[in-house]
Amino acid sequence: MTILAAGTTAPEFTLHSTPDQSVALKEFRGHNVILAFYPADWSPVCSDQLALYNELLDEFARLNAQLLAISVDGTWSHAALARERKFHFPLLSDFEPKGEVARAYGVYDAKAGVAGRALFVIDGDGVIRWSYLSPMGVNPGAAGIIKALEALPSNNIQKTLPADAAQEAA
């Protein structure tokens, strides 16, 4: 797997969030996006990872970011997992053609037939600003996501003193 690196334009996609509703990456232009690829619904590591992100939704919103989670599982599995775990963000199905979006981002594990555990922070212009591929059995946490979001120019506004105030301080 060769994960897409920072500075790369994020590949566009439209994936189902429910059997009759879709989400497109382009809908989030002007906002930061966190893409969290994960191997499978219902696995302990995946469920714990997504539960952590669910707890951080207010922090992500503060940083002008929308979380989108993607796996190759079907929409019905996603719906059951979201309902059971009370997730409040879209779980997107990269089901058919299987792993097409994960392949575009360089995170499809063809041998296992699943998306790798990968994270991307995409800015409001659709450019990947940070990416990370975690070992399959390791929850990558959220520290890297938060750090990457905080480093974005849109979230890192420098507060400066007016020129006359700076002169008075000198």
- Residues with active-site annotation: 46
Evaluate whether 119 touches 56 at the Cβ level (below 8 Å): no
For the chain, what is the largest distance between any 2 Cα atoms, rounded to a whole number of angstroms?
65
Note the pLDDT of residue 49: 97
Over the stretch 117-156, which tens digit does the pLDDT of each residue have?
999 999 999 999 999 999 999 999 999 999 999 999 887 6
Within 66-121, where are the H helices? 75-85, 100-104
Q: In the block, which residue shows the tokens 């600003």? A: 129
Asked if residues 82 and 73 have their Cβ atoms less than 8 Å apart, the reply is no
What is the structure's pLDDT at 168? 42
Tokens read off for 25:
């990456």
The pLDDT score that the predictor gives to residue 68 is 98
Report the pLDDT value the prediction gives residue 156, as an integer from 0 to 100.
65
* Burial (0-12, 13-18, 19+ Cβ within 10 Å), 51: middle
For 124, the token pair is 């409001």
Those residues with Cβ within 8 angstroms of residue 46's Cβ, 6 or more apart along the chain or in another chain: 38, 39, 40, 71, 117
Q: Which residue ranges of the chain lie beneath pLDDT 70?
A: 156-170
